[in-house]
Structure 1
Amino acid sequence: MLHFLKQFKIVQLYLTYILVFACISCTIGQIIAFPLKYISPRLFYVLNDKLCYCYFCLIPYAVENWGGYTIRVYGKDGIYQTFEKSRNKNMLVVMNHTGEVDWMIGWSLIERVGLLGVVKTMIKDSVKYVPVFGWSFYFSDYIFVKRSAQTDLPLIKKACDVYKKYPYNFLMTIFPEGTRFTREKHSESLAFACKRDLPQYKHHLLPRAKGLYTLVCMMKNNDNSEFFYDVEFAYRGKEATTLGILSGDAGMCDVNMRLIPLRDIPLEEKAFSEWLYQLFREKDELMEYHLKHGCFPGMHLQADQGYWRSKLALFWSLVSTLPILSLLYCLISSEQWIIVAFLIGLVPIASWMFKQLIHLTESKHGSSYGLNNKKV
């Protein structure tokens, strides 16, 4: 019965409504708490952590609990435990970008160790203008980039100056490839690498060193920073999509995690670039191994889902439904049938708009960033 319901657009639209409702509620909390940033910064970031987690956790819930997605993590014994124990340290997590839901899978991993509320990332500049969602990311000190080295590097350096003085721990995630992997972008990446005598990868785009180098320098100069995590995603079967997850199309993603002490990463820029290229050679080998064996090397690691994930999903479902039921009751009681009919008529329109919005996020409609670039 549940699987049957998942196929209806109205159900998918309702899930999106719950997420938007939760985001609006928590963003209002962020706005109210914002003055504390200048009075008691640590208290503000503690509150911001909790508020963000309250609706961020709906993403892992949608992926694993609703969508039925299975995430299998591989790596050396104890790496997940180290990840969890280092929650009071600043961390940098580097991920490959193979599809549109990579960030969702990454959030599921981060949520399992209780760090989802403090996650930061680089995100398209246009997102900050998206009502509510963009504001929430702005209050959380996300880095908004325009995908141009000339304009983005000063923004990254400015953000790093903020992070250096952070009174609270954070976890920075980044996709060094800069954009999703597609055949077209891969061909462009190979041509660019060949022209510049740079490494050519079978399963990844050429990584961009400058932004990540700036972040690594900031982390290495921060006494509360210790670890660099490399994460590799590999999907089984068809590519995962946002619409597929909302429809409950179960799938599987294998994840390889590696821990690299920050002290082992070179601080000189040219040496760092060579180190990064070597890291992606190793990531390419990992992906090749997965294609041949259907899994990553190393142990299959276990980690429990976050304790509050399902409870908060239930909470937001109930709280967000009450205004709708209350409105309908008032309209029906007062026999406002025209308004009721109008609201019902909005449902298919909203469903169509929702489908178009999801359609734009699909990988084949991804950013053109990475094509015909002149600089790395």
Structure 2
Amino acid sequence: MAESVARAGCVLLRALLRFAFMVANNAVAIPSYMLYLLALQPLRVLDSARFWYLEGVLFKWLLAMVASWGWWAGYTVVEWGDDVKAVSEDEAVVLVNHQATGDVCTLMMCLQDKGTVVRHMMWLMDHIFKYTNFGIVSLLHGDFFIRQGRAHRDQQLVLLKEHLEKYYRSRNRKWIVLFPEGGFLRKRRETSQAFAKKNNLPFLKHVTLPRLGATEVILKTLVAQQENGTITSGNTVIKESKSKGLQWVIDTTIAYPKGEPLDIQTWILGYRQPTVTHVHYRIFPIKDVPAEPEALAHWLYQRFIEKEDLLTHFYETGAFPPLQGQTKAVSRAMTLSNLWLVCVQSFAFLSGGMWYCIFQYFYHCLF
């Protein structure tokens, strides 16, 4: 009994310390990001490309801080399927299943070692994230917050198209990440299953049928007329003559042990035991994705039916099945450098101190 109480006390103390660190981390990092961008506004006028390059570096470092909260709590990632590093410099749309708020944190972690992806990515998130601590950062970065619900659907798709046309290429974005299910699994499962039954579609337990609007708008807006790129056997990608526009669709499936997803509270407080999250990638050339709405709907449904099969296999065996043409599935444990994370955190706190001193100096000069 005493041992259990002591263990619970340690977990509580650790959670409180982590929460205090997270608050301090946000208090210095987010205002510093905003102030750096404010100070760089003259550069934005003189050299917009250089400005957005620097903004992308700062944005990646901010996401690295979020990744560090999970990494230091023992929440790591093992990757399966195609190697997305091979297409990290191409334009791609990333389709992800959505189980909990921890999905976003998981992606922030596992994309850190994918070259320049994080610097050049755009997120499509539920509008509720706009009101979180990270909302102002996403707004400045140029992410899109979408309101769910039939009443807002048509207007949101128009706004999304305008947003992509205005910000995607002008800010040199390459990857665009969205969750086509339109909500968390636990909230949408019953509705999705009822829709599937009504329309003679497969009964899904581990994912829900995707909503089509945002994906269709993205493809219509960003796909060029001529696209090239060929996936070969295994994880190799052959890049042919490049043209402007999306080159790939990266079908991403996140799986948690025993189907118990991480949420943002767990990521911050670290009260759950160290957990390995598994992420499976499958890359499709954009030329293989149909443009006609009905065919695109069928194609998207097939991707999520495949996700259902992948997750069923994972929950039964603890591993994803091998890719087509492979006899054995190969996993890759992604790693983050603790030294790199410490350097990023140190830069954040030093920046916070620097801006505090600057404001204090001007305050004393003026008053």
Q: TM-score, normalised by structure 1?
A: 0.76
Structure 1 residue aligned with 2:27: 20
Q: Which amino acid aligns with 2:88?
A: R
Superposition deviation, residue 39 in structure 1 = 4.1
Superposition deviation, residue 150 in structure 1 = 1.7
Distance 1:311 1:228, change over 3 A: same
1:208 equivalent among 205, 211, 217: 211
Superposition deviation, residue 104 in structure 1 = 0.6
Structure 2 residue aligned with 1:299: 330
Deviations 1:236-259 (A, max 9, x none): 144323232333331121111111
Structure 1 residue aligned with 2:178: 174
Q: Residues 130-145 of structure 1 correspond to what in structure 2 (within 5 A)? A: 133-145=134-146
SS at match of 1:7: helix
Structure 2 residue aligned with 1:29: 36
Q: Which amino acid aligns with 1:61?
A: S
Structure 2 residue aligned with 1:74: 80
Structure 1 residue aligned with 2:126: 124
Maintained 8 Å contact 1:6/1:246: no
Maintained 8 Å contact 1:219/1:225: yes
Residue range with higher mean Cα deviation, 302-311 or 17-26: 302-311
Distance 1:11 1:299, change over 3 A: closer
How many matched pairs?
A: 315
SS at match of 1:308: helix
SS at match of 2:88: helix
1:289 equivalent among 303, 308, 313: 313
Deviations 1:204-245 (A, max 9, x none): 112001111111223322715312111111111443232323
Structure 1 residue aligned with 2:239: none
Deviations 1:50-108 (A, max 9, x none): 121221210111111x2111211111xxx32xx22433222211110012200111111
Q: Which amino acid aligns with 2:318?
A: G
Superposition deviation, residue 167 in structure 1 = 5.6
Superposition deviation, residue 8 in structure 1 = 4.1
Superposition deviation, residue 110 in structure 1 = 1.0
Q: Which amino acid aligns with 2:266?
A: G
Structure 1 residue aligned with 2:348: 316
SS at match of 2:247: strand
Structure 1 residue aligned with 2:252: 231
Structure 2 residue aligned with 1:358: none
Q: Distance in 1 between matches of 2:250 and 2:347?
A: 33
Maintained 8 Å contact 1:220/1:263: no
Q: Which runs of 5+ in 1 are unaligned?
A: 325-376
Superposition deviation, residue 40 in structure 1 = 2.7
Maintained 8 Å contact 2:32/2:348: no
Residue range with higher mean Cα deviation, 158-167 or 272-281: 158-167
Does 2:161 align with 1:160? no
Maintained 8 Å contact 1:122/1:142: yes
Q: Residues 1-376 of structure 1 correspond to what in structure 2 (within 5 A)? A: 7-34=14-41, 36-64=43-71, 66-75=72-81, 79-80=82-83, 83-114=84-115, 115-128=117-130, 133-147=134-148, 148-163=152-167, 165-166=169-170, 168-182=172-186, 185-221=188-224, 223-237=244-258, 238-248=260-270, 249=272, 250-297=274-321, 298-305=329-336, 308-317=340-349
Superposition deviation, residue 301 in structure 1 = 2.0
SS at match of 1:254: strand
Q: Which amino acid aligns with 2:141?
A: S
Residue range with higher mean Cα deviation, 212-221 or 278-287: 212-221
Distance 1:274 1:24, change over 3 A: same
Distance 1:24 1:169, change over 3 A: same
Deviations 1:124-178 (A, max 9, x none): 3354466x73332122111122223122100111122125643624321100001
Percent of counterpart pairs with the same letter?
A: 22
Q: Distance in 1 between matches of 2:136 and 2:268?
A: 24
Q: Which amino acid aligns with 2:99?
A: T
Superposition deviation, residue 321 in structure 1 = 7.7
Q: TM-score, normalised by structure 2?
A: 0.77
Q: Which amino acid aligns with 2:331?
A: H
Q: Distance in 1 between matches of 2:119 and 2:27?
A: 17
